[in-house]
Structure formats: structure tokens, C-alpha cells
Amino acid sequence: MASYEATVRWQCRPDERFIDGRYSRAHEWQFDGGAHVHASASPHVVRTPFSDPSGVDPEEAFVAALASCHMLFFLALAAKQGFAIMTYEDNAIGVMSKPSEGREWMTNVTLHPQVAFTGDKRPIADEVDALHHQAHEACYIANSVKTEVVIEGQAEGLR
């Protein structure tokens, strides 16, 4: 069993009055490999200047984690089947909704992977769809959430 760690740091600035809600939501994420990420509440949730649009917000990170996990499994499965990939790019979009139970949550994430294949052995469209299905079924993050994940992929260099 593996475990994963992230450190989240925030500090109230000397000129801020915390109890009135007028404080910065900017903070830092630090990961075990040494990566530091500037983070903040989403400007859709907390207005600027109390959020920092240049920071990664948790909602964006959630969408990126789903897209990244899917991509990593897709690449591994394609390589295992002998398909060479030149590029993979995904403009993933997450949608926050407030269904009838009243709590807001990320109800849908749509992945838009654009994959370019190269080499002698190239898949047909049905094989690409099957790779996406297998990647989704294997993705740890997708298996950990109730959010609907839709994959609307495009592929180039098919046979």
C-alpha cells in the first residue's frame, strides 16, 4: 500500500483582519518530491483581492488530477499494445453544480484528450476508444470520486 503526502501552508498577513473574512486565501502546496505550487481559493468562490487568480485552486487541481491520471494510464496501455504516441493534450473541464440536496459539488468532468499517434503500428478509432475506456476504469482518481467523468477524445495518425 502506498501513501501520498502534501503539505498545505497558509499564514495570516500582519495587515489582515481575519475574523471579518477580509484575508487572503492564497497559500502554498508542497509535495514530497519538492514541488511547490502557488494555490488560492477560486475567484468564483472568493472574490479578489481575497483570492489570487494566478494560484491553482482546489477545483482546478481536482480536474487536473483526473485528467493527468487518465492520461498516464492511457499512455501506459497504448505503449503496452505497441502504439507509439507523439503528443497527448487534454483541455479538461469540470462543472460545479448544486443539485437538489443543496450541497455544491463537482458533478461532471469532461476530458478532451487529443492524441497524435506515430510509428508503424497505429490504432483504429475503436481501439482508441477502448484505450480510453480501459484508462478510465484503471484511473485511481476516477475510482475515488462520485463525479461523472466523460471522455470526448480526438486522435490523429490512425490507420
Do 85 and 96 have their domain in common? yes
Do 66 and 52 have their domain in common? no
Residue 53 has pLDDT above 80, yes or no: yes
Do 28 and 104 have their domain in common? no
Do 136 and 100 have their domain in common? yes
pTM for the full predicted model = 0.91
Residue 103 has pLDDT above 90, yes or no: no
Do 91 and 147 have their domain in common? yes
Do 51 and 75 have their domain in common? no
Do 40 and 100 have their domain in common? no
Mean predicted confidence (pLDDT) in 100-107: 86
Do 79 and 113 have their domain in common? yes
* Residue 36 C-alpha from the chain's centroid: 17
Tell me, what's the pLDDT at 106?
Answer: 93
The tens digit of pLDDT for each residue in 1-43 reads: 888 899 999 999 999 989 999 999 999 999 999 999 999 999 9
44-52 long-range contacts, CB within 8 A, separation 24+: 44/96, 49/24, 50/21, 50/22, 50/23, 50/24, 50/25, 51/24, 51/25, 51/26, 52/24, 52/25, 52/26
Question: Given 31, 56, 81, which residue is the final one in a domain?
Answer: 56
Do 75 and 133 have their domain in common? yes
Number of domains in the chain: 2
Range of the domain at 86: 58-156
Do 45 and 8 have their domain in common? yes
Do 22 and 52 have their domain in common? yes
d(CA 1, CA 63) in angstroms, rounded, equals: 24
Domain harbouring 37, CATH code: 3.30.300.20
